[in-house]
Structure 1
Amino acid sequence: MASIELQQVSKIYQNNQYSVRDVNLKINDGEFVIFLGPSGCGKSTTLRMIAGLESITSGELRINGQNVNRVAPRDRNIAVVFQSYALYPHMTVAENMAFGLKMRGTPAAIIRQKVAETAAMLGLDQLLHRKPAALSGGQRQRVALGRAIVREPQAFLLDEPLSNLDAQLRAEMRTELIKLHRRLGKTMVYVTHDQVEAMTMGDRICIMRDGYLVQSGTPLEVYANPANTFVAQFLSSPPINLVSCIVRSRAGEIFLELDGGRLIRVSDYAQQHYRRHEGKPVILGIRPEDFHARQHGAHWQPLPFNVTAVEALGAENIVTGTIDNVRFVVRLDRHTLPAPGERLTLYMDPDPLHLFDSHTGDVLSRPASPPFIN
């Protein structure tokens, strides 16, 4: 296994444009880390610098405590799996998996043993004689993984390996990769722009934007405590509702005043904490799933909701509408299917709401352990 550490790592191209800027990150032995972010944020460049496929402009990259800035990719003992399968079309599955070992002069008997063991692990043992053209997308991706596994690297780097697959295959391969990580126990770094992959696969998510590492933490930690509006929006689908409001005090209690005058009371645990922002404009962040058709908590606030659009997804319904002309998107259970133009009373759970600085977008601090986080 391998620990990987980036210390103030940056990448600048010839046009003096930063692709990655001052990234500090420690990836522990056996950890499954996800680099998440939109296209062009620097996540693939970071992965390629770890692999040695991109040079480092400044900073230091350490693997197992050793500086590898000038170590060739072949000497880092790290396997890379790309979005394209990069299989040799004229070779069989067995030959593709064995190719790297053969080039290293590994004895034929050891190659056969490793290919057989890896093929059995990945469910490819009945396909070893086939060529890539006779395989499905998921099977080809498993072959690409198998080619990396037989090398027995100390770490795996995966650059959007599932993006060429359809939705069902992606879900299946997510499960297979999770099982594979548990079985091998090796360090894995996985690049994706897919929030579902990030939330379901990784031990830790590292969210990047414009070359910067914006936030790092376990999936549920980052989801429950986003560092800013970018993270809050990016790590959810549909995105979090972000609404301008002003912190107000009424009869000694703290409320959030929406455009139009609607007041939303802040939860008891955060009353004193948010009082310091009284009179200031802020951005309210409330996720679609924190609106409900029925009141289960005594402190949940009833709000009038005018439906403008409905997406019926079967298991749930995504409903767009307005509260006093302020637009919100809510997620309702499959038993609540309103029609456009209908007026509902929805109940908002105020415990998970976030307040962000209206200028910087950074989250405003709140009590460390609110009751909705275990």
Structure 2
Amino acid sequence: MSSKNLYILGIRGIPAQHGGFETFAEKLSPYLVKRGWNVVVYCQEDSRVRKYESSWAGVKRIHIPVTNSGAAGTIIFDWKVVADSLKHDGLFLTLGYNTAIFNTLQRLKGQTNVINMDGIEWRRDKWGLIAKTWFWLNERVGCWVGNHLVADHPKIKEHLATRVSPERISMIPYGGDEVLEADPNLLSVYGIDPGQFSVIIARPEPENSFLEMVRAFSCKKRNHTLVVLGNFQPTLNAFHKRVMDAASEEVIFPGAIYEAPVVQALRFYARFYLHGHRVGGTNPSLVEALGAGCAVIAHDNHFNRWVAGPEAAYFTTEDDCSLVFDKLLTDDYAVLAMKAASRLRFKERFTWEQILSEYEELLLKWYPSR
């Protein structure tokens, strides 16, 4: 049997440097290569060099140069990627729908394209009207032009089923690594000890409940430290300033941390992992928290409840969150039960072994026969 060709579009490249989809592609690509696939990943280069190719872990990478930065650069990159993809044969996997309007060309050419539709991007508070309109339009287009759609959460599948037939949608969540140990010495630079702190790891945006969680923690002395990761720029961002101004002396802001061993130690040794996301499907950071056996305190919505399960603690308002701290910061038995439940939920549904196997099964089903 001849090798099957898979082209991965929609990300900036591998190895991962930017986000959840890049990490997913970094896991899926070598997995498929080991199983006999030819995998090609398009990578964005912020330079004026010509297009070139390279190899990483047996995966072919096509490097596309883009001189623009930011959102404009990403849109131009996606356009160039789709234009290049029209020259190739095989199956195409597009991660995200933000420029799905370009994928129309693939549909017109008769290429088979499976699109992971990500979260409901146009509902996010951070976007202005123009951006929200662009995302809403591209979500619609993605539903039309994708031969098959992937939703990473049952509620995202329900949402997409208002656009297309449910038979055209598969639900496969995001995966994570199981963390069974971490280096406690990595905590010393932050002046914290195992079990004596809790952690928030997210983009510091209003929809992620940063202000509510920090206020809830800071309303009284806790004899505990809250570590808030993220790229805070209080002189440039009014929301960042409000969060930092609301923080008590027991809250620390070490900035954005990208070193995986440090982040793993912060999760693994935290008393609680706080997850304030109000919008989205299966959030990678929440899955990674389950994989590290974190006791989870999360905003109460159907996205988080499905991922973290019934044993996590939930809050809706700032007052709710404060009461959760009041109750659980001194209840060691409850914390141990929450940690055990997180590991169980992770093994039930979010190991990479399960996720990657489900993806290959889907890709084999949609591989073009001609």
TM-score with structure 1 setting the length? 0.28
TM-score with structure 2 setting the length? 0.29
* Higher strand proportion: 1
